[in-house]
Each structure stands twice: as structure tokens, then as C-alpha cells.
Amino acid sequence: MTALSFSERLAAVREQLSRRNVDGLVVLRGDEFLGEYVAPYAERLAWLTGFTGSAGMALVLPDRAAVFSDGRYTVQLDEQVDGALWERLHITQIPPQQWLTHHAQGLRIGYDPRLISEAGLTALEGRGFEFVALENNPLDAAWPDQPARPRTPVIFQSPDLSGETSDSKRARLATELRANGENAALVTDPTSVAWLLNIRASDVPYTPVVLAFAILHDNDRAELFVERDRLTAETLASFGDKVTIRTVTELDARLNALSGKTVRVDAQGTALWFIQTLEKADATISRGGDLCVLPKACKNATEQQGARDVHRIDSAALCRFLHFVTTQGVGLRETELAERMDGFRAQSPDYRGESFAAISAAGPNAALPHYRALPGRDRVLTADSIYLIDSGGQYGAGTTDVTRTLWTGPDVAPSAIREAYTRVLKGNIALNQARFPVGTTGHRLDALARQFLWQAGMDYDHGTGHGIGSYLSVHEGPQNISAIARPVALQSGMIVSDEPGYYAVGHYGIRLENLLLVKPASVGAPGRYLEFEVLGFAPFDRNLIDVSLLGDDERSWLDRYHATTLAKIGPLVDLPTRTWLAEVCAPLA
């Protein structure tokens, strides 16, 4: 079958809209689970527009269409999307609701209620146009070679790795349901389903989840909606008689069976179809958060030790890669370097795959925070240039994410680049050293990482830190460290990234990232203060450090960090890497 051109795809979707008596369509990046990563069958936005970024949406009208994304993807949007077919817009500068208000007066706009949350639809609503829920997705009808849905094996995550049985987790949350006067809770986030039932799969790239829904009842029983033949015997045995396996086709009937019950629903993270179905069934909807989110974020002692263990393995792979880049990287393409990084990780028997698509960026490409190198379109790493590698791994006991920026030499890096790098490094150190009262949100800490950039009139257009899962999503809530205020405080056991950056568009980019474990502080009254434990260990490039910009405390921290890196990682790597590591981890002159 000959693939349709992008103009033919847009025309085919408009034809399907006409058949459904609607004038327009909302096309979202997410799937029925509203997750960050989606399986190939759900890459609807990419199929229709060509845009492959992880955040975005499109609006189709009879005579015009637009694609929206945020500041991370403005350059990518321009490169991938045909400007003759689509307007390419920054989602905060021209919000979709504003665009619809200007261009959709008197029109009926179709949407798939299985692919958008209640809050997501509310954010789009405005005057002069009408939203219409569709029973089936017109884009799917227009997509002739849409991939099949995944059917990967569903495996058991034992308590040796998870630190708690599913029975215990369900009992804890059922107690909370009863205390809230709720009879059941929908669990529609696959990472929450995975955490609650101690299961993993490979249905989507990078995140080891099964695309399945669950219902948790107040008697600690659960229903899991997934094909039974996908469950391993060990997984089935782990459920005992308290988890009932049902097919996805039974979901509608089981929601209707909750008639008269009070059902907890995360309105932000659950598709609107669930709410509409429960309302038709006369269930009472309790709009609360996902009960799994907070306990999933606060890693137990087993998960915390697992994170330490996998970071040692991962840091050894990264150090081997950094040594390789500094000695043999010049002349290789960005995609080749990303493959090398993955290859070093793959030498560990515990490695399960990348936790996200590695950002391997040379020279000006490093100025694109979410750059993705593609074969045939990637740059060659040259001498006397910046190279940025942001990558991570999935291991049975945890998930990693780390970024380093290098100067290839042999000449000395320009002073402006060294200053920018050092200011980013100072911010990374400042956040790492933070101590803060219990109840502090990440928003209150964000300025610590930016302060030295601000002093020079510099900044970066992304968050400073995101949560990390335990052999789950590399981007996990509810905690973050960002200029955007969120109400969730950092709590002991949470893992967050520390990744300030600076980007000179068209020239170079810098980002430095370690993962941090929140733990009780060694100062103050017991239980009153928190601090961070750094998890990953890899050297910062001394060729990019302007030592004159570092204070005595920062130099001491950096020397201690490098000494610890050599002590922890040196014994795990080959002799040439260990020799190199001893040189680059030596105290600053």
C-alpha cells in the first residue's frame, strides 16, 4: 500500500468529519491512557501532521488547520510540519482556545472522549463554537495502515524489587477509599496500574507498562482489564483470588455496574469517556487525585536501595562512554554516539532498555533541549565544539536519567561558553546542597538553580527537575522543581532530577543533570528538615569550568563529588577508563 502524503491524510480526515456531520476535529498527542509515551497505533498526531514531539495537539477545520506545541519544540515543529498545510503555533503564545474563538465561529468541533480529559476539554471551550463527542475516531478511520495494538507479556515485579506486595498496597488504598466514603477508584494511568499490581510490560517505548485499566474497590479487590493470555503464570499466581481479570470489552458494563456507587476519578488524568459513562450510569463521581501517585512517588527502602544500585551500574556505563567520546568521539555522528551509549549500558545483564530516546546533540543541536538525532539528518561531532548527551536506562530495580556536556578540544573552549557552563554547574551544585523545611514545594527551590544564570542575564525555558519512577516512567509526578508552582511538597523517598541548562540558539547548549533522592536532613529537629542525596556519579568536564567563578564551598563540593565518583565507579570500569577517571576526577587546581 502506498503511504498517503500529508495533504492526502488531512483531506481524508476532513472527509471522515463530513460523514459524521462535524466541521472540525481535536487531535491530541496522547492515547486512551493520557500518557507521555504512546504505542505506534496511537501516534495519531505524528501520522496526520509529521510532528513527533512528546507534547502537542492539532486542530482541523474545513479551511485551515493548526499544530500547537511548547517552547521545547518550536524548532522541531517548523522542521517537521508543512507550513502550507498547517499553522505552526506556540501553545502559550496563541492558545488553542483563542485560535478556535477566532476561526471556528458557528462550527461543530468533534473530539474523541477516550483521548481527552475533562480538564483538557474545558481548557478548549469558548464562545461561538460547539464541541461534539464522537463515538469513534475519524482519524482512525482515515488511517489505512494503522498499527495493531501491542500485546507484550505482562510480568510480575516481585517484592524483592518493589518492596511491597500488591495485597499490601491495595489494602492501604482501600482503607483510604473507605475513609473518604468512596466505594471504588478508577486506575487509568498505566504506571499506577503497574505500581498497584506489581506488574510490568513493554506496551509503549521506554516505559515498562501494560496498557490496561483497573478498578480498585473498597474491599481491596481489583479488576484488571487486559487479555488473560498476556499474563505470565507467575503474574496470575501473584494476584490470588482478589484480582479479577476482564477483557477491555467488559469495561463499559463494569462501569455501569457501579451505578449508585461513589467512584473516585482523577479528572486531570482520566479520559472524559469514563466520567461520561459513569454519569449516565448514575454513579456519584468523586473528583480526587489518583490514589497511587503519592505512594508511588515516595520510594520505600527497597526501591531507594535499588535506585542507588542501578545508578552505580549506570554511572559506570556513562563514564566509559564519556571516556570514549573524549578519545574517539570526534568524527562520529550523533546517532552513532547514542548507539554507543546504549551499547555500554547493554553490557549490564540488568539493563532493560533506554528510559527515553537519548538526546545526543553536537554543536548548535545542543541548543535544542529536546533534540532527537535522526539517521541521515544528524551532525558529525567535530573538534572544538560542544557535545551534550542526555540519556537514561531502565533496570529491574530502578530508572536513570543523566546529562553531561563536553568540550571536544583540543583548543581551549571560548570564555563565553566556559562562563555559561560554570554558571549552570553552580546552579546544579546549589540545588544539590539545598536543605529545606518539610512542606517545601519544588517551586520554592527552583530559583536556587537559576540564580547564577540570572546574575548574568541568562535563563532556560524548561523545568529544573522532574520526578523519576522505580522501573517505571522517567517523568513521574506529582513532584517537580519548576518556575510553575505546584501544591505537592517534596517528601522523603521522592527522586527528582537536578538539570539546569543554558541554550545559545544556533550555537551551543549546556545542561548538567544528576538525580537526587529526598531524605531526612542531618540538621534541625528530627523530622523537620529535608535534604538531597545525589544518586549518579560521573565527572563534570573540567575543560569547561571557569574555576575563578567558583566559590570555596562549590570547589569543595566538586572535589568531594569527583573523589566519590572515582571511589565508587573506578572499580567498575576497565583500566583505560579508570586511568582517565583518575585524571578528570583529580582536585581542581
pLDDT tens, the chain, 589 aa long: 578 999 999 999 999 999 999 999 999 998 999 988 899 999 999 999 999 988 899 999 999 999 999 877 888 899 899 999 999 999 999 999 999 999 999 999 999 999 999 989 999 999 999 999 999 999 999 999 999 999 999 999 999 999 999 999 999 999 999 999 999 999 999 999 999 999 999 999 999 999 999 999 999 999 999 999 999 999 999 999 999 999 999 999 999 999 999 999 999 899 999 999 999 999 999 999 999 999 999 999 999 999 999 999 999 999 999 999 999 999 999 999 999 999 999 999 999 999 999 999 999 999 999 888 989 989 999 999 999 999 999 999 999 999 999 999 999 999 999 999 999 999 999 999 999 999 999 999 999 999 999 999 999 999 999 999 999 999 999 999 999 999 999 999 999 999 999 999 999 999 999 999 999 999 988 999 999 999 999 999 999 999 999 999 999 999 999 999 999 999 999 999 999 999 999 999 8
In whole angstroms, give the CA distance from residue 52 to residue 371. 11
- Is the whole model's pTM more than 0.75, yes or no? yes
Is the four-CA dihedral 200, 205, 206, 207 of positive or negative sign?
Answer: negative
Alpha helix (H) ranges present in 111-265? 118-124, 138-142, 159-162, 166-179, 190-197, 233-239, 251-256
The whole-number pLDDT of residue 216 equals: 98
Burial of 42 (0-12, 13-18, 19+ CB in 10 A): buried
Tell me the domain boundaries of the chain: 6-142, 155-296, 298-584
CATH superfamily, with its number, for domain 155-296: Creatinase/prolidase N-terminal domain (3.40.350.10)
The whole-number pLDDT of residue 370 equals: 84
Which one, of 461, 477, 511, 366, lies nearest residue 90 by Cα?
A: 461
> Same topology for domains 6-142 and 155-296, yes or no?
yes
In whole angstroms, give the CA distance from residue 214 to residue 246. 9
Chain-centroid distance, C-alpha 479: 12
In whole angstroms, give the CA distance from residue 365 to residue 357. 15
Q: Are 287 and 267 in contact (CB under 8 A)?
A: yes
The whole-number pLDDT of residue 1 equals: 54
Which one, of 405, 404, 394, lies nearest residue 161 by Cα?
A: 394
CATH superfamily, with its number, for domain 298-584: Creatinase/methionine aminopeptidase superfamily (3.90.230.10)
How, if at all, do strands 108-111 and 130-133 pair?
Answer: parallel
**Residue type, position 249, single letter:** T
In whole angstroms, give the CA distance from residue 272 to residue 186. 12
What CATH number is given for 6-142 in this structure? 3.40.350.10
